[in-house]
Chains A and B, each alone.
Chain A
Amino acid sequence: MLDTSVVLSGLKLDNPVIPASGTFGYGNEFREFYDINVLGSFSFKGTTREPRFGNPTPRIAECTAGMINAVGLQNPGIEAVIAEELPRLRTFFHKPVIANISGFSVEEYAYCCERIDREEQVGLIEVNVSCPNVRHGGMSFGTSPEAAAEVTRAVKAVTTKPVYIKLSPNVTDIVAIARACEEAGADGICLINTMLGMRIDMQRRRAVIANTMGGFSGPAIFPVAVRMVYQVAQACSVPVIGCGGVQSARDVIEMMMAGATAVEVGAANLVNPYASKEIVEALPAEMERLGIERLSDIIGVVA
């Protein structure tokens, strides 16, 4: 009997597949395609204290083996998420959800995490200190060990649920930042968010994205994600959620061998709305092919 279950800081998931924040909304769009209860969990759209429209359009660009987005944390705000999205989610998703929280100040992170911590369906809080698409917030907290640690401490002080810090790859020393989060009390680390990228419309001689730069995601960044998951898993003792360019069950297993306990699927959901479901369904056959009985046995096997 194959066992695909994994445990993230006491939170047991039937399988390690988690649609990544920003590619799955609050679940509504995808339930029209399939029953999303097949997923391990999902990480909902990055949520801030105030409602946000985000950046001007165009905010999407095509790339070789990937895409750039500069959405800029569009979301209805924490109060609307609690009052409208979560009650609706309860009607069709019967598992714990991962709450992705972003902010523009340490106080805002703490406020939103404290609010969302009281929600029963939230199984884990993912603190996004890595959004590349907003100024004076997001990524600026995830590019220095001190700032990342400060956010971690502030959030941990007001929450009871596991807190995972989602890190940016746009740094010189990912290990220093991950360690700082762990020392500040983080229950786990999630990485990587998108890589800062840019495309140019050569006819118009200007950037394709209105905001000039944006976050590059898709299969092109998978090897970078595997490398950073490996580095952080080697250096930290808390669990790691691997994210970045995953588009198959094989990618999930590779990410887990690098050190991930669970794996997020991002851009793949946007080009194939069934991607996460198909990955869940393909896992057992892939495990058999590789002689894996218990998926959790392979976490970090590559030393």
Chain B
Amino acid sequence: MYRKGLYRILENEPLTASVWRMRLAGDTQWITAPGQFVNIAIDGLYLRRPISVCDCDAQTLTLVYKVVGEGTARMSRMAPGTELDLLTGLGNGFSTGVATQRPLLVGGGVGVPPLYNLARRLLAEGKPVQVVLGFNTAAEVFYEEEFRALGCDVTVATADGSRGVEGFVTTAIARCGLDFDYFFACGPLPMLRALSEATAQPGQLSFEERMGCGFGGCMGCSCKTKYGSKRICKEGPVLAKEEVVW
């Protein structure tokens, strides 16, 4: 289920040169799974902007977003106290109801945030959580400490080697010999594809697409899967590895 509501900005602060964290207060009951997203109305822009939920509790939700265009640039200039019109509870999110004892979470760049709440849930289910975070360079790294503070085993990879393992997330998984029986991933398309090809294990992958509405009304964000077309906003953004058509 999804709903429209007003949310008040509590904090809005930069984590890196281009990645920001916004905490909002409001009704979070419609957010039921990690990896779901909200769709934000921004004054002066026509379409809402979809942003994944990084974390939420009974009264607040946390969004970690990268400034990539006009919408996110405007978000980064919003002051605490501002009220935002959000659609919440959008998308299917990650399913933790899968048979896994040793899950691996793999995030690339701004694909990292939705894994945070997922890590919390898996840990609460008593599972040890390994996390691989991939970035271009050390200056772009964020949430490494936050995952570690939860109790996750964290490996960082940077493309230029300025922090952690030099290379991509797939390099880090191979080099560190990570032992896992299932994976959850969110990140750029080339990363998702490389990861899917490099792993024998099953998993879930969260995809991005340009959206019109965010709730299945416009068919703007459809993709083809082995089981027919799916809307990234509605039957996605999370797809099972085995159904993805690359």
Contacts and interface: CB of A to CB of B under 8 A. Distances in A.
Interface in A1-46: 22-25, 28-30, 32-33, 45
Interface string B193-224: 00000000000000001111101111111111
Interface in B156-196: none
Contacts of A218: 46
Contacts of A267: 46
Nearest to A62: B47
For the complex of A and B, the 4 pairs showing the least CB-CB separation, nearest first, are A270-B213, A60-B220, A58-B210, A29-B216
A74 B4 contact: no
Nearest to A58: B210
Given A58-B209, A58-B210, A218-B46, A270 B218 contact: yes
13 contacts: A23-B218, A53-B229, A57-B222, A58-B209, A59-B220, A65-B46, A67-B212, A69-B212, A267-B46, A270-B212, A271-B41, A271-B46, A271-B48
A66 to B, nearest CB: 6
Nearest to A266: B218
Interface of A: 22-25, 28-30, 32-33, 45, 53-54, 57-67, 69, 71, 74, 218, 267, 269-274
Given A32-B1, A60-B212, A69 B220 contact: yes
A102 B194 CA distance: 40
For chain B, give the interface size range. Answer: 20 to 34
Contacts of A66: 46
B41 A61 contact: no
Contact of B210 (A28, A29, A57, A270): A57
A284 to B, nearest CB: 23
Most buried by B among A67, A270, A274: A270
Contacts, number: 89
A62 B4 contact: no
Given A29-B216, A71-B218, A270-B47, 18 more contacts: A22-B218, A28-B216, A30-B217, A33-B4, A57-B220, A58-B209, A59-B220, A60-B212, A60-B221, A62-B45, A64-B46, A67-B47, A69-B220, A71-B220, A218-B46, A271-B41, A271-B46, A273-B213
B234 to A, nearest CB: 7
Contacts of A69: 212, 218, 220
Interface string B1-16: 1111000000000000
Given A63-B46, A67-B212, A69-B220, A74 B87 contact: no
B212 A53 contact: no
Nearest to A74: B219
Contacts of A74: 219, 222, 229
Contacts of B222: 53-54, 57, 71, 74
A51 B72 CA distance: 36
Contacts of A61: 210
A273 B5 CA distance: 12
B85 to A, nearest CB: 8
A269 B87 CA distance: 13
B2 A32 contact: yes
